[in-house]
A and B are shown apart, each in its own frame.
Chain A
């Protein structure tokens, strides 16, 4: 990916596009947006949990709650905070900040930050360790923008069979934003990376009451110093052209295009050049996947299988049906717009196919504006059902590397890497 001034200029165009998209959505009467599971009734609530079978709903079953700077989102946990984005917000190619999902691991997170004393420090194996204020970052470095999907490693974990412990996300632990900030590589250059550096460790203002040296004390992640993704990383101080909401990492967060969120350190405050591989819990024990195709294994083999950090892979290609959501009957003979989003951590989505017969036959959907290789790509397909009945819609995406979404689920004990073909059941009624 080319992060350059050109991209920033193009980003201005994207901003305008974003504004228009939101304007159109409002004008089209798509509000109220604050809905998770929509339904033709509103007196009976979803169950408070699902399982031991798979969660059958698009989102998780959790209730709406209100948080600072956020519209009502779906509460998984409240300390540490995990909030899921309701389905309708994925109609737009850029996810609104106030609806963007939240995922913390620990409970000591900032409510208030003084930028007069906050600094982003580069320490460890650098020629000259440095500390930057936000003002320094804004003025001393060329701003760059990248549109990129931030997706939790465990997005859709509630689909797993058998179920696994962890955040029981539906599909809403993801979002796409235009991230603007400083190239990570510019910061590393400024400090001068010394020979012998094997990894860079990133730490933010997320802590817990656990003992020093344990994962319950601090959240930290590392990337190998020779990982090509470092060249694409951005230390972002703007999210969709606004300061980051506190819950999404104010004042700056690391953006790692193509990789899962776990590396996108919120409230980024320390960058450390390490001469020995990081052995902290969040790299050495957590967020690891089987070193197998698709990260797949079985409950019986899970304890013996070799594992690697989830950062060794990019996000597998995925696509989602946003509309129709099944809350309204469709009308026979009337064109119905099947639409949604697709993305891949391996680059540009090149094709999205839609099926109206549970995956037996497929038709090519029309792709929306291209916002960069790591952004959501919207798609739509106009379907005119000719017979009344129950239909199962399905969608599958293909990326530029030729990766196609499979119709088989994946299983690993962490509940990571789900990218099975998504389905939506709809009912078509007659028009007379």
Chain B
């Protein structure tokens, strides 16, 4: 019931404000709260030499966790040979048949060396966590 606690505080604040110290038109003021969306650090400038080599630093990865469940390690092991699992988490919830087709495409079209048994488990994992029926926020 933490929410109510804050509402009570705010009501008390508004009540206090209403006791004569209000500014014209101000409905609320001085409302601060800890930022929850995070901050992004600025990069330090990099140095380079006056030669023919043009370089940038490592490509950073920002890969969110996959859902926990059977088959997760297989997905991490096989799928991430070629691409990170953001290729999974970025997708909208896709029907089970689409995930089946995607895994088959990776094997047949792109040549991913995934044994049949592992492929079946990978498909089952994706269907268990990333369909309209199963995907969780």
Contacts and interface: CB of A to CB of B under 8 A. Distances in A.
A215 interface: yes
B92 A216 contact: no
Contact of B83 (A62, A107, A109): A107
A77 B56 contact: no
B52 to A, nearest CB: 4
A320 B40 CA distance: 28
Contacts of A251: 54
B58 A111 contact: yes
B22 interface: no
Contacts of B56: 68-69, 111-112, 246
Interface stretch (A49-57, A227-235, A388-396): A49-57
B90 to A, nearest CB: 5
B92 A66 contact: no
A64 B36 CA distance: 14
A114 B52 contact: yes
Contact of A78 (B62, B111, B135): B62
B33 A43 contact: yes
Given A111-B58, A216-B112, A49 B92 contact: yes
A209 interface: yes
B47 interface: no
Contact of B92 (A52, A115, A285): A52
A51 B109 contact: no
B61 interface: yes
Interface in A267-309: 281, 285
A2 interface: no
B94 A167 contact: no
B contact residues, range: 35 or more
Most B-side CB within 10 Å, residue of A43, A78, A251: A78
A51 B92 contact: yes
B55 interface: yes
A198 B81 CA distance: 36
A73 to B, nearest CB: 11
Interface in A58-93: 62-69, 72, 75-81
A50 B55 CA distance: 36
A168 B91 contact: yes
B54 A250 contact: yes
B81 A209 contact: yes
B137 A48 contact: yes
Interface string B41-67: 101001000001111111111111000
Contact of A285 (B98, B109, B132, B135): B109
Nearest to A108: B82
B43 A112 contact: no
Given A64-B40, A66-B43, A111-B58, A75 B86 contact: yes
B91 A49 contact: yes
A428 B49 CA distance: 55
A contact residues, range: 35 or more
B64 to A, nearest CB: 7
Contact of B111 (A64, A111, A214): A214
B36 A43 contact: yes
Contact of A116 (B52, B59, B87): B52
Nearest to B56: A68
Contacts of A64: 40
Contact of B110 (A47, A66, A214): A214
A69 to B, nearest CB: 6
Contacts of B33: 43
A210 B112 contact: yes
A77 B86 contact: yes
B73 interface: no
A65 B59 CA distance: 11
Contacts of B135: 49
Contact of A77 (B36, B46, B90): B90
Nearest to B101: A165
Contacts of B58: 111
Given A66-B43, A67-B59, A115 B52 contact: yes
B92 A281 contact: no
A50 B53 CA distance: 42
B83 A165 contact: no
Contact of A49 (B54, B82, B90): B90
13 contacts: A48-B64, A48-B89, A77-B83, A77-B84, A79-B61, A107-B82, A109-B59, A113-B55, A158-B92, A163-B92, A167-B90, A168-B91, A209-B81
The 6 A-B residue pairs with the shortest CB-CB distance in the complex, in nearest-first order: A51-B92, A68-B56, A112-B55, A79-B84, A216-B110, A214-B111
Given A78-B60, A210-B82, 16 more contacts: A42-B37, A43-B35, A44-B36, A49-B89, A49-B92, A49-B93, A65-B60, A67-B60, A77-B86, A78-B62, A78-B86, A114-B52, A168-B90, A216-B112, A243-B54, A246-B56
